[in-house]
Structure 1
Amino acid sequence: MFRLRQRTRHMLYAALTGAGIVMFVFIVYLVISQNHNKQSMNLIEQKYEGEINRLKEGKANQMTSGWITVREIGAGEKLRTTDLEQKDFPADRVPSDALLQKDDIEGKITKIALKSKTLVTGSVLYEAEAASNDLRNREISFVKIPAVLKSKDVIDVRIQFPTGQDYIILSKKKVKDLKTTTMTLTLTESEILSLSSAVVDAYLHKASIYALTYVEPELQMSAIPTYPANDEVLKLISKDPNILRRAEQGLSHTSRALLEKDLSALTPQSATEFEGKQVEYLQSAQQTDQNTQVK
């Protein structure tokens, strides 16, 4: 009986030892397998990270040539070759609408003002209209102009009758030149006739012809002329050409009289305040230019 128990005990020990060995071998296998899988995953991650870094470096190293302005360009100006300079940029930093060919830029008109060293894109330019054969420069001194009007501003010319009726004679015209109360506009033949009709209408019916400036002329649509040229007035002009001259002179005198009235109402104190504001404005503009140059 004792031997039987001892043999059973030995068999049990042997079974437990064998199970322990098997378990140990299994655990070692799991550890080795896990380490192998981890190493494999690390190698794969390193491989993909290397590929991504190479792609990023390659993209960063890719350069493309664009065109920048060499001076400050005002809104509505036509770009010339001398206004442009070619410069290389990282391909991933260039806007999708950047214009890469000089031919796509030269001769185009700017919608907004551009600072020096600005990359030229399609969104800030528009195509200039071809000049028609009947365009003529017309000096005008009979239109009441805004006090703040300056050369290159864009205006509508309107006529207002004593009845309150108000019509647009000329739409979105750029002031080519301005001297005191005389401005120069470029007009077509039909616009010249319409303006002539309006001048005589204003002379005969005590109406006033005045100008209004656009706020953002390169972004705003032009107004539609609403003044109906008077056939009878045009006939009167053809019969008596001098009436147009008399009408222009009469309106010119009226416009000048209004200007003289405004000037006479200017007190020495308000003139001094205006001069002080002009000095402050010029100093502020100079400081802005200096800050821009430093940058």
Structure 2
Amino acid sequence: MLRLRQRTKHLIYAALSGASIVVILFIIYLIMSQNHYKQTQKALEQKYDVEINRLKEERAKQMTQAWVAGRQIEAGEKLSITDLEQKEYPADRVPSDVIRSRDSIEGKITKITLKPNTLVTDSLLYEEEAATNDLRNREISFVKIPAVLRSKDVIDVRIQFPTGQDYIILSKKKVKDLKASTLTLTLTEQEILSLSSAVVDAYLHKASIYALTYVEPGIQLSAIPTYPANDQVLKLISKDPNILKRAEHGLSVTSRALLEKDLGALTPQTASEFEGKQVEYLQAAQQPGQTLQANESSNMGTGTGH
């Protein structure tokens, strides 16, 4: 009986020892499996990270930073970085002259009106010429101006003689300021002398001095001045400076008289028709692909009629 009990104890100890070994081996297996899983997971994560970084680098190479208009920017307006927003675009979807650098935009001037979100390219901008020492602001009230002329518009100033001869005095000048029939232009010394000669010429020979606006000044090239300054007139001005004042006053009175005459002949029906044409003009100007030649011809007709 005693032997049976001892044998039973040995069997129980053996069973417990075996079970303990199995549990220990199982625990070791679990630990090793867990470590293997973590190592595999880590290796997989590293592989994914490498692949993600590679894709990001490829995408970065395929994308480019560009600037777009943050609001409507009118033609001839000087750009500030606050007017623009930076966005990302596929590199193969943007023009080759797209502007990426902030310094390449600041202070430049727009050639055309930029709608919001319009991509800014180098061909849409130009740099203002440096001011020379002989530049002066000249107030002019003797030029017959178009009825639709506004400040910041760009004009040619021309002279037409009774013989039909027509010359360009000033080319592509921006109207710095406009009050009633008096406009302010920035001129060089040579342009001031040429204009003075033309004023006296117009006074002596009953010619008319008038202005024509550019349709797309940012795109159109400037006309070449063709008016030959009269040496005799310049000598006359130097001998009698008052003749220039008399000539300017005479032309101013004539221009105002013509304006009063035109305004007096304006009927309600004519005013209504004019307003309708202005609406049509603005609508046409907002649509791409409109023929600029037709508009330019219209402006030419308006100027020569004055």
Report deviation, 1:191.
Answer: 0.3
What pairs up with 1:188-199 in 2 under 5 angstroms? 188-199=188-199
- State the partner residue of 1:201: 201
TM-score w.r.t. the length of structure 2 is 0.69
Matched, 1:187 2:169: no
Q: 2 CA distance for matches of 1:210 and 1:280?
A: 25
Structure 1 unpaired stretches of 5+: 1-53, 286-295
Report deviation, 1:154.
Answer: 1.1
The code of the aligned residue for 1:196 comes to S
Q: 2 CA distance for matches of 1:283 and 1:113?
A: 14
| Residues 109-141 of structure 1, C-alpha deviations (whole Å, 9 max, x = no match) | 212111112221112112221111111111111
Q: 1 CA distance for matches of 2:278 and 2:212?
A: 23
The code of the aligned residue for 1:153 comes to D
- State the partner residue of 1:110: 110
Single out whichever of 72-81 and 138-147 deviates more from structure 2. 72-81
Report deviation, 1:271.
Answer: 3.0
- State the partner residue of 2:134: 134
- State the partner residue of 1:291: none
What pairs up with 1:1-295 in 2 under 5 angstroms? 58-59=58-59, 62-274=62-274
Q: 1 CA distance for matches of 2:238 and 2:283?
A: 54
- State the partner residue of 1:21: none
TM-score w.r.t. the length of structure 1 is 0.71
Q: 1 CA distance for matches of 2:202 and 2:74?
A: 35
Single out whichever of 63-72 and 275-284 deviates more from structure 2. 275-284
- State the partner residue of 1:44: none
Q: 1 CA distance for matches of 2:158 and 2:95?
A: 42
Distance change (3 Å), C-alpha of 1:220 and 1:235: same
Distance change (3 Å), C-alpha of 1:270 and 1:164: closer
Is 1:60–1:91's contact at 8 Å kept on the other side of the alignment?
Answer: no
Distance change (3 Å), C-alpha of 1:57 and 1:65: closer
Q: 1 CA distance for matches of 2:210 and 2:278?
A: 26
Report deviation, 1:279.
Answer: 8.2
Q: 1 CA distance for matches of 2:276 and 2:112?
A: 29
Is 1:145–1:181's contact at 8 Å kept on the other side of the alignment?
Answer: yes
SS in 2 for 1:134: coil
Is 1:59–1:92's contact at 8 Å kept on the other side of the alignment?
Answer: no
Q: 2 CA distance for matches of 1:227 and 1:277?
A: 33
Is 1:199–1:248's contact at 8 Å kept on the other side of the alignment?
Answer: yes
Distance change (3 Å), C-alpha of 1:275 and 1:167: closer
SS in 1 for 2:170: strand
Equivalenced residue count is 233
The code of the aligned residue for 2:159 comes to I
Report deviation, 1:281.
Answer: 8.9
| Residues 195-253 of structure 1, C-alpha deviations (whole Å, 9 max, x = no match) | 00110111111111111111221111111111111111111111111111110010000
Distance change (3 Å), C-alpha of 1:209 and 1:62: same
Distance change (3 Å), C-alpha of 1:273 and 1:202: closer
The code of the aligned residue for 1:105 comes to I
Report deviation, 1:96.
Answer: 2.1
Q: 2 CA distance for matches of 1:279 and 1:76?
A: 22
Is 1:59–1:91's contact at 8 Å kept on the other side of the alignment?
Answer: no
Q: RMSD across aligned C-alpha pairs, in angstroms?
A: 2.8
The code of the aligned residue for 2:98 comes to A
The code of the aligned residue for 2:96 comes to S
Structure 2 unpaired stretches of 5+: 1-53, 286-306
